[in-house]
């Protein structure tokens, strides 16, 4: 973040460019989440749908690490892109990602920081509720979907959570140090 920048008219072209490029950190959480979503469209290796819901996990982790940079509206926009990528009715992931970000924000404000195991438990609960609500919203959008594959995805997502946290933590340390951007 470029803080205390001089007034716009006092900067020359190079300084202005540096000022704008200095904001790249604002897009790190959304960028990492989009990259993980893109990874979910990878060519399939197994005939059964077992790919974890990396997008939701990334939303969850970034809403915890950088609450200022993963507000519900950003999660909403990411969710619309997810709907487009996964050929779901527009609004399923958008609604649920935004709700997940809002939930983490409220939860963090109330209970603060805690151990990794506790976070894993909360993430598991969020994933299970997410999959259940996905089935409900798909039915609302007129495309009912069987529950069993969603249950499998919940299991793999819970297993994949530490990996996503590790990735986001590495990115967080590289980009922001240990600080928050609010």
Partner 1 sequence: MDWTPAPRRSSAMRREQNLALVGAVVSGAVIATGLLLLLVARVNPEAGERLRGVALDIVTPVWSVVRAPFDGIGRALSWGGDYFAAVDRSRDLEQQLAAARAELNRAAADRLALAKLKRLQTVRDPGRRLIATARIVSATSGSVVRSAMIAAGRADGVVPGQPVIGADGLIGRVIEAGNHASRVLLLTDPASRIPVMVQRTGQAGLAVGSNRPALELRDRVGAEVPLRTGDRLVTSGDGGVFPPGIPVGTIVAGGVEPAAVRLAATPVGAAYVTIEAAWLPLPVEAAEPRLDAPVPIEAVRSGAKLPKASAPPATPLP
Residues that bind partner 1 (CB under 8 A): 38, 40-51, 53, 71-73, 76, 79-81, 84-92, 94-96, 98-99, 101-102, 105, 131, 134, 137-138, 140-146, 148-150, 152-153
**To the nearest whole angstrom, how small is the minimum distance from the Cβ of residue 31 to partner 1?**
15
**Residue number, 14 or 87, with CB nearest to partner 1:** 87
Contacts of 115 (CB under 8 A, 6+ apart): none
* Radius of gyration, alpha carbons of the chain: 18
Instruction: Give the whole-angstrom CA distance, residue 40 versus residue 55.
Output: 8
Torsion on CA atoms 23, 27, 32, 33, rounded to nearest 10:
170
**To the nearest whole angstrom, how small is the minimum distance from the Cβ of residue 156 to partner 1?**
9
Selection from 26, 36, 103 nearest residue 69 by Cα? 26
Orientation of helix 148-176 relative to helix 116-140, angle to 10° = 130
Q: Count Cα atoms within 13 angstroms, Cβ side, for 136.
A: 8
Instruction: Give the whole-angstrom CA distance, residue 153 versus residue 117.
Output: 20
Instruction: Give the whole-angstrom CA distance, residue 130 versus residue 31.
Output: 22
**To the nearest whole angstrom, how small is the minimum distance from the Cβ of residue 32 to partner 1?**
17
**Residue number, 22 or 49, with CB nearest to partner 1:** 49
**Residue number, 149 or 175, with CB nearest to partner 1:** 149
**Residue number, 140 or 175, with CB nearest to partner 1:** 140
**To the nearest whole angstrom, how small is the minimum distance from the Cβ of residue 21 to partner 1?**
24
**Residue number, 120 or 152, with CB nearest to partner 1:** 152
**Residue number, 29 or 79, with CB nearest to partner 1:** 79
**To the nearest whole angstrom, how small is the minimum distance from the Cβ of residue 75 to partner 1?**
8
**To the nearest whole angstrom, how small is the minimum distance from the Cβ of residue 105 to partner 1?**
8
| Secondary structure (3-state) at 91 | coil
């Amino acid at each position: 973040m470029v803080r205390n920048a001089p007034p716009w008219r006092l900067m020359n072209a190079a300084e202005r460019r540096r000022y704008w490029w200095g904001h790249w950190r604002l897009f790190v959480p959304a960028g990492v989440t989009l990259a993980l979503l893109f990874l979910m469209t990878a060519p399939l290796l197994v005939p059964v749908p077992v790919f974890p819901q990396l997008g939701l996990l990334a939303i969850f982790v970034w809403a915890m690490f950088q609450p200022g940079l993963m507000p519900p509206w950003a999660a909403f926009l990411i969710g619309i892109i997810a709907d487009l990528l996964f050929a779901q009715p527009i609004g399923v992931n958008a609604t649920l990602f935004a709700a997940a970000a809002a939930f983490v924000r409220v939860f963090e404000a109330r209970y603060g920081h805690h151990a990794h195991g506790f976070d894993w438990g909360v993430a598991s609960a969020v994933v299970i509720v997410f999959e259940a609500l996905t089935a409900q919203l798909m039915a609302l959008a007129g495309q009912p979907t069987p529950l069993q594959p969603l249950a499998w995805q919940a299991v793999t997502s819970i297993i994949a959570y530490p990996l996503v946290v590790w990735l986001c933590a590495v990115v967080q340390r590289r980009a922001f140090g240990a600080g928050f951007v609010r």
